[in-house]
Amino acid sequence: MTITLADLAAQINAQVIGDPTQQVSSAATLEEAGPGQISFLSNPRYVPKLATTRATAVVAAMNVNSDNVTLLRTADPYYAFTQAMVILHGHRRHPHAGIHPDAHVDPTATVGEGTILYPGVFIGPNARIGRDCILYPNVVIYDQCILGDRVTIHGGSVIGQDGFGYATHKGIHHKIPQVGNVIIEDDVEIGANCAIERATLGSTIIGKGTKFCDLIAIGHGTKIGAHCLFVAQVGIAGSVTVGHHVTMAGQVGVSGHLKIGDKVTIGAQAGVINNLDDQSTVMGAPAMPVSLGRRVYTLFTQLPDLADRIKKLEQKMSEIATDEDS
């Protein structure tokens, strides 16, 4: 659609600095945008690009100025640009409504009104799928698992496979029956090729509003709180409790039976082996407070130089000791 900057600004709660009668019809990056397109600036490092962008307008923070391009100033530019994207482009339109003929739904399963199942989706016995969900191709929902309303699961993800549970007796690994399930609450989005294990007993739970990127593995019996953000390749072992609004960057690993507090941020490739308090920020392997982690990794890069200095000091001390003995 085409819309004036004045009308767009009114809908995204922004202030136009420039000509409000200009029109835009699509969105693009600062580097690629041209006339008739809108872009955004949320990271200060990209401010110099305002001088060269060909965009008609840029959504930016309240303190940003530009002599080159019209600005739509707002308190939260990233969210405002998200709203603009929805207005201009809308969300993906599905090629069909309801359950595709090539999806398989067990007769004992229930699927809520407005839910879309793509080809290759499998819904197992006694599973329950809420209203207005979207399950993309080859999603598998095992028996007894429960999805709330407005859940989106991208292609290839598996919900409710057996947890990794074995009792080792006399050198033989004996499988423990996994009789629990998975509960995914409302407004959760699961990326492609994720795997969420069913609980041995009880439920593995993914809290409302939580968003997963791709290739994420959740162990059996783990409970994830509301509104968490997990980036690609996060792996969480079994029986972990994660609070609300927790962010885990790419390739974070969490050991089993731990408690991660509310509003915790965990840096990329961190290895969490201890409980984490509310509102803590950690990095590294093993995970440590970010202030300590920065010091550790700064020293880590200097280890070769420090080793050379120690060798020289040891040699000097040896020479002094030899001189004293003589």
Neighbours of 290 (CB within 10 A): 17
pLDDT tier at 158, thresholds 50, 70, 90: very high
The continuous run of DSSP H or E covering 113 comes out as none
The dotted CATH code for 104-292 is 2.160.10.10
Find out whether 26 and 57 touch, Cβ atoms under 8 Å.
no
Nearest C-alpha neighbor of 219 from the set 163, 167, 300: 163
- The answer on pLDDT for 322 being more than 90 is no
- The answer on pLDDT for 61 being more than 70 is yes
Q: Would you state the structure tokens that stand for residue 47, as one six-digit string?
A: 């401010």
89 catalytic? Reply is no
The dotted CATH code for 3-89 is 3.40.1390.10
Q: What is the mean pLDDT of residues 222-230?
A: 98
From the list 173, 174, 220, 257, the catalytic residue is 220
Q: What DSSP character marks residue 47?
A: G
What is the pLDDT, as a whole number, of residue 1?
A: 82
Q: Would you state the structure tokens that stand for residue 62, as one six-digit string?
A: 């309240």
Q: What is the mean pLDDT of residues 49-76?
A: 96
pLDDT tier at 318, thresholds 50, 70, 90: confident
Find out whether 40 and 53 touch, Cβ atoms under 8 Å.
no
Nearest C-alpha neighbor of 141 from the set 155, 161, 162: 161
**pTM for the full predicted model:** 0.90
Q: Indicate the average pLDDT of the chain.
A: 96
Residues 91-124: tens digit of each pLDDT: 989 999 999 999 999 999 999 999 999 999 999 9
Return residue ranges of the chain for CATH 2.160.10.10: 104-292
* C-alpha separations of 301 from 267, 305, 312 in Å: 18, 9, 19
What is the pLDDT, as a whole number, of residue 300?
A: 85
Q: What is the mean pLDDT of residues 183-209?
A: 98
Which residues pair with residue 218 across a beta bridge?
Answer: 196, 236
CA distance 3 to 323: 86
Strands 15-17 and 23-24, by their bridges, are unpaired
- The answer on pLDDT for 326 being more than 70 is no
What is the pLDDT, as a whole number, of residue 130?
A: 98
Return residue ranges of the chain for CATH 3.40.1390.10: 3-89
Q: What is the mean pLDDT of residues 208-216?
A: 98
Count of alpha carbons within 13 angstroms of residue 86, beta-carbon side: 8
